[in-house]
Amino acid sequence: MLAIAFCVKRNPAGMIVPRAYSIGLCAPEGPVSCDNPDMEPAPRVPVSALPAHAGSRVEIAGWLYNRRSSGKIHFLQVRDGTGVVQAVVGKGDVPPDLFERCETLAQETSLIVRGVVRADARAPLGVEIGADSVEVVQIAEPYPLGKKEHGPDFLLTQRHLWLRSRKPWAVLRVRDSVIRAIRDFFHKEGFLCVDAPVFTPAACEGTTTLFGVDYFDLGKAYLTQSGQLYSEAAAMAHGKVYCFGPVFRAERSKTRRHLTEFWMVEPEAAFYTLNDVMSLAERFLEAVVARTLEERREELKILERDPVPLERVRAPFPRISYDEAVEKIRSAGGAIEWGEDFGSPQETALSASYDRPVMVHRYPAQVKAFYMKRDPSDARVALCVDVLAPEGVGEIIGGSQREDDLEALLGRVREHKLPQEAFEWYLDLRRYGSVPHGGFGLGLERTVGWICGLEHVREAIPFPRMMYRIVP
Partner RNA sequence: UCCCCGGUAGCUCAAUGGUAGAGCACCCGGCUGUUAACCGGGUUGUUGUAGGUUCGAGUCCUACCCGGGGAGCCA
What torsion, rounded to 10 degrees, do the Cα atoms 423, 425, 429, 431 define?
90
Q: Does 417 help bind RNA (rule: CB under 7 A)?
A: no
In angstroms and rounded to an integer, the radius of gyration of the C-alpha atoms of the chain is 28
Q: By CB under 7 A, which span of 190-198, 271-279, 339-347, 373-381 interacts with RNA?
A: 339-347
The secondary structure element, H or E, covering residue 356 is: none
Q: By CB under 7 A, which span of 119-127, 317-325, 401-409, 413-421 interacts with RNA?
A: 119-127
Alpha helices for 296-321 (secondary structure H): 297-302, 308-311
- What x-and-dash track marks residues 232-251 binding RNA by CB under 7 A? -----------------x-x
Binding residues among 6-65 for RNA as defined by CB under 7 A = none
Q: Does 439 help bind RNA (rule: CB under 7 A)?
A: no
- The answer to whether residues 323 and 330 touch, using CB atoms and an 8 Å cutoff, is no
- The answer to whether residues 65 and 33 touch, using CB atoms and an 8 Å cutoff, is no
Task: Candidates 81, 345, 462, 472: give the one binding RNA (CB under 7 A).
Answer: 345
Task: Candidates 36, 48, 69, 279: give the one binding RNA (CB under 7 A).
Answer: 69
Q: Is 48 exposed, middle or buried (0-12, 13-18, 19+ CB in 10 A)?
A: middle
Binding residues among 161-200 for RNA as defined by CB under 7 A = none
Quote the CA–CA distance of 175 and 288 in Å, as a whole number.
Answer: 11
Nearest to 438 by CA among 399, 469, 394, 468: 399
Q: Does 366 help bind RNA (rule: CB under 7 A)?
A: no
Nearest to 283 by CA among 416, 419, 184: 184
Strand partners for 344: none
Task: Candidates 96, 146, 219, 433: give the one binding RNA (CB under 7 A).
Answer: 146
CB of 225 to RNA, least distance (A): 7
Q: Tell me whether residue 33 or residue 56 sits nearer to RNA (CB atom).
A: 56
Task: Candidates 12, 30, 151, 433: give the one binding RNA (CB under 7 A).
Answer: 151
Quote the CA–CA distance of 460 and 445 in Å, as a whole number.
Answer: 5
Task: Candidates 19, 53, 150, 380: give the one binding RNA (CB under 7 A).
Answer: 150
Task: Candidates 107, 109, 292, 351: give the one binding RNA (CB under 7 A).
Answer: 107
Q: By CB under 7 A, which span of 237-245, 277-285, 424-432, 455-463 interacts with RNA?
A: 455-463
DSSP state of 96: H
Q: What are phi and psi of 288, to 5 degrees?
A: -65, -45
Question: Cα separations (Å) of 215 from 87, 147, 218?
Answer: 55, 47, 6
Binding residues for RNA, rule CB under 7 A, total: 73
Binding residues among 265-304 for RNA as defined by CB under 7 A = none
Task: Candidates 80, 268, 286, 445: give the one binding RNA (CB under 7 A).
Answer: 445
CB of 272 to RNA, least distance (A): 17
Q: By CB under 7 A, which span of 28-36, 275-283, 336-344, 351-359 interacts with RNA?
A: 336-344
Task: Candidates 18, 90, 190, 339: give the one binding RNA (CB under 7 A).
Answer: 90
Nearest to 115 by CA among 86, 141, 140, 138: 86
Q: Does 367 help bind RNA (rule: CB under 7 A)?
A: yes
Task: Candidates 256, 297, 301, 312: give the one binding RNA (CB under 7 A).
Answer: 256
Task: Candidates 19, 53, 91, 291: give the one binding RNA (CB under 7 A).
Answer: 91
Q: At what angle are helices 274-295 and 444-452 packed, to 10 degrees?
A: 50
- The answer to whether residues 47 and 125 touch, using CB atoms and an 8 Å cutoff, is yes
Task: Candidates 162, 191, 262, 322: give the one binding RNA (CB under 7 A).
Answer: 262
